[in-house]
């Protein structure tokens, strides 16, 4: 059996995994940096790079050890080279290149976004393409036309904040901490989704784009008050926080599901694959299940452990391996989204 070592350092998780050619995950190690960034309410790129540098070799060692293998048992090394934070991506790529140089193994450059969508293929154990791919994370809210694992065409994306970023910023406004998504989801269980009438920006717009910045400002004004006017009462009150959180979360879920539905209609595809950190959100997952039933389409959401950043989804590297699309050792990172 052949084995792939996959490395992922695009944002604030240092991750490595070993996947066999049948796409079975033999190990998946993720070292999260949440504790380092929570004080700042978001990822600090310089801190992320330094932490990757300290952790990358132990994480790779651990992944190979947990798989019960050695570096000599690998057939190739795959690494996320785009998109992501420059400094973070560079650490993973440099580690991968160094190992390739030392062992003579081929290097494979993985698209982190395509990997998030491929996580759905890994989870379902069947061929999910062609599909609408939907990546909803701290850095992306992007809809793609995905005819095959290695092809994608952008259908629409956020014009300002990503959905996960909105969760993180709203959590800060409400004094909940970081990362915001899971904290908002938790307090929202005690809140009323109809307590605040937040805008669903672009929801009826034909374009498949998103905007969450106005929603974030609406939450700010609703909770703290409009600048220049007296501050709102009830700040710090747990029920008020729960109501604002629940109303905000409901607005985000409505927007995400409406646009996913519109993308299915536009492409004519009968399958939607959803990945990225926000796909871990319970009410979003429920709403997607309802969409599947209502529209009689196949909706595959990445399992919880493969929603947030991980290296197991680097299994997409096998698709590149089989297509003989290897990367040269002078391959560089591409921090921005590679548009097609
Ligand atoms: O995919 P990911 O791990 O990293 C990026 O590539 O951005 O996503 C992280 C984002 C954060 O913004 C976090 O708040 C959000 O995913 N997130 C959630 C939940 N869990 C993580 N958002 C909503 N509900 C959740 N349960
Ligand atoms: Zn990601």
Using pLDDT thresholds of 50, 70 and 90, give the confidence band for residue 340.
very low
Query: Is residue 38 very low, low, confident or very high in pLDDT (cuts 50, 70, 90)?
Result: confident
Look up residue 327 and give its DSSP letter.
B
| Other Cβ atoms within 10 Å of 83 Cβ, number | 21
Give the number of whichever ligand sits closest to the CA of residue 313. Answer: 2
Give dist(CA 265, CA 272) in Å, integer: 11
Of 48, 181, 184, the residue with max ligand 1 atoms within 8 A of its CB, to mutate for a pocket test, comes to: 181
Determine the topology of domain 3-111+309-322 in CATH. Nucleotidyltransferase; domain 5 (3.30.420)
- For residue 26, the model assigns a pLDDT of 98
Task: Please state the three-class secondary structure of 70-105 as a single string.
Answer: CHHHEEEEEEEEECCCHHHHHHHHHHHHHHHHHHCC
Which atom of ligand 1 has the smallest separation from the CA of 138? 7
Mean pLDDT value across residues 109-115: 96
Residue 236 has pLDDT above 50, yes or no: yes
Given this model, what pLDDT does residue 125 score? 85
pLDDT for 208: 97
| pLDDT value at 290 more than 50 | yes
Could you tell me if the CB of 308 is within 6 A of ligand 1?
A: yes
Confidence of residue 40 (pLDDT cuts 50, 70, 90): confident
Read off the pLDDT band of 338 (50, 70, 90).
low
Q: What tokens were used for 278?
A: 């926000």
* For residues 285-295, average pLDDT: 97
The model's confidence at residue 239, banded by pLDDT at 50, 70 and 90, is very high
What mean pLDDT do residues 245-262 have? 98
pLDDT band at 230 (very low <50, low <70, confident <90, very high): confident
Give the atom of ligand 1 at the shortest distance from the alpha carbon of 179.
Answer: 14
Q: Among residues of the chain, what percentage have pLDDT more than 90?
A: 89
Instruction: Evaluate whether 163 touches 210 at the Cβ level (below 8 Å).
Output: yes
Ligand 1 lined by 182 (C-beta under 6 Å) = yes
Q: Is ligand 1 within 6 A of the CB of residue 137?
A: yes
Identify the residue with better confidence: 337 or 119: 119
Could you tell me the pLDDT band of residue 271, with boundaries at 50, 70 and 90? Answer: very high
Among all bound ligands, the one having the nearest atom to the CA of 139 is 1
The dihedral region occupied by 53, where left means phi > 0, alpha psi between -120 and 50, and beta the remainder, is alpha
| Domain 117-306, CATH class in plain words | alpha beta
pTM score, whole prediction:
0.93
- Asked if residue 122 has pLDDT above 50, the reply is yes
Mean pLDDT for the chain?
A: 95
Q: Ligand 1 atom closest to Cα of 275? A: 1
Mutate to test the pocket of ligand 1, among 8, 84, 164 (most ligand atoms within 8 A of CB): 164
pLDDT average, residue stretch 34-60: 93
3-111+309-322 shares its CATH topology with 117-306: yes
Domain ranges of the chain: 3-111+309-322, 117-306
Which residue matches tokens 């792939």? 4
Confidence of residue 339 (pLDDT cuts 50, 70, 90): low
Distance separating alpha carbons of residues 306 and 43, to the nearest angstrom: 20
Q: Which pLDDT belongs to residue 219? A: 98
Provide the pLDDT for residue 162.
95
Q: Is the pLDDT reported for residue 57 higher than 50?
A: yes
- Average pLDDT value for residue range 202-231: 94
Q: In this model, does residue 132 exceed pLDDT 80?
A: yes
């Amino acid at each position: 059996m052949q084995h792939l070592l996959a490395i992922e350092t695009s944002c604030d998780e240092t991750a490595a995994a070993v996947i066999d050619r049948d796409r079975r995950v033999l190990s998946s190690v993720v070292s999260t940096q949440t504790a380092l960034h929570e004080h700042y309410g978001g990822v600090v790129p310089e801190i992320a790079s330094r932490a990757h540098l300290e952790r990358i070799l132990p994480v790779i060692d651990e992944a190979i050890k947990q798989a019960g293998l050695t570096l000599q048992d690998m057939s190739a090394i795959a690494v996320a080279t785009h998109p992501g934070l420059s400094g973070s991506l560079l650490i993973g790529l440099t580690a991968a290149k160094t190992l390739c140089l030392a062992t003579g193994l081929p290097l494979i450059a993985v698209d982190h976004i395509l990997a998030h969508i491929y996580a759905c293929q890994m989870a379902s154990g069947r061929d999910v393409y062609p599909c609408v791919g939907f990546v909803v994370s701290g850095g992306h809210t992007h809809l793609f036309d995905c005819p095959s694992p290695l092809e994608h065409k952008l259908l629409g994306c956020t014009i300002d904040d990503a959905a996960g970023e909105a969760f993180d910023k709203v959590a800060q406004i409400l004094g909940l901490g970081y990362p915001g998504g899971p904290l908002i989801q938790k307090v929202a269980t005690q809140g009323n989704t109809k307590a605040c009438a937040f805008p669903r920006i672009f929801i009826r717009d034909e374009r498949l784009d998103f905007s969450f910045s106005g929603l974030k400002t609406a939450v700010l004004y609703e909770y703290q008050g409009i600048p220049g006017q007296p501050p709102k009462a009830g700040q710090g009150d747990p029920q008020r926080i729960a109501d604002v959180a629940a109303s905000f979360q409901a607005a985000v879920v409505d927007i995400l599901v409406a646009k996913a539905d519109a993308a299915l209609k536009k492409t004519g595809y009968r399958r939607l694959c959803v990945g990225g950190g926000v796909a871990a959100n319970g009410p979003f997952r429920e709403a997607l299940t309802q969409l599947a039933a209502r529209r009689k389409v196949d909706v595959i959401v990445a399992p919880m452990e493969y929603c947030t950043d991980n290296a197991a989804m680097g299994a997409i590297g096998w698709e590149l391996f089989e297509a003989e699309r290897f990367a040269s050792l002078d391959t560089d990172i591409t921090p921005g989204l590679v548009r097609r």
